[in-house]
């Protein structure tokens, strides 16, 4: 893919996300850059300042899956990774994926 195509598609994604997020252009550009670089993002901000909305908006604009994990004191590893469940009809264990098996995970 040529740089012009990446730039065009990146701008299209930013325009779509800007429909939901106002006033955070620099942060949105940094998030898109990190996504393109296949990196990880740590969003730190005060409560109620659209961190979840940003993550959901990028997932929607990119057409990928979004999941959220709320870290509470009673959280177990299986709550994040998933669990094997016995299916009585097939007499086999089936793995039920946890929220970590997604494209964008907000923790």
Give the model confidence (pLDDT) of 26-84 as tens digits.
Answer: 999 999 999 999 999 988 888 899 999 999 999 999 999 999 999 999 999 999 999 99
User: Residue 17 pLDDT > 90, yes or no?
Assistant: yes
The confidence score (pLDDT) of residue 89 equals 95
The confidence score (pLDDT) of residue 43 equals 87
Write the Ramachandran bin of 88: left for phi over 0, alpha for psi from -120 to 50, otherwise beta: alpha
The confidence score (pLDDT) of residue 81 equals 95
In a shared domain, residues 43 and 1: yes
The confidence score (pLDDT) of residue 44 equals 87
Residue environment code for 82-105, b if the CB has 16+ CB neighbours within 10 A, otherwise e: eeeeeeeeeeeeeeeebbeebebb
Contacts of 31 (CB under 8 A, 6+ apart): 41, 43, 54, 58
In a shared domain, residues 46 and 81: no
Q: How many folded domains does the chain comprise?
A: 2
Domain that holds residue 106: 66-107
In a shared domain, residues 38 and 3: yes
């Amino acid at each position: 893919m040529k740089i012009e195509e990446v730039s065009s598609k990146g701008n299209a994604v930013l325009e779509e996300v800007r429909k939901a997020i106002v006033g955070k252009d620099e942060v949105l550009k940094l998030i898109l850059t990190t996504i393109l670089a296949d990196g990880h993002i740590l969003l730190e901000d005060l409560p109620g300042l659209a961190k979840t909305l940003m993550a959901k908006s990028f997932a929607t604009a990119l057409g990928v899956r979004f999941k959220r994990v709320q870290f509470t004191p009673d959280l177990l590893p299986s709550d994040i990774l998933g669990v094997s469940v016995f299916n009585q009809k097939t007499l086999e264990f089936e793995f039920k994926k946890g929220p970590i098996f997604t494209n964008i995970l907000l923790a």
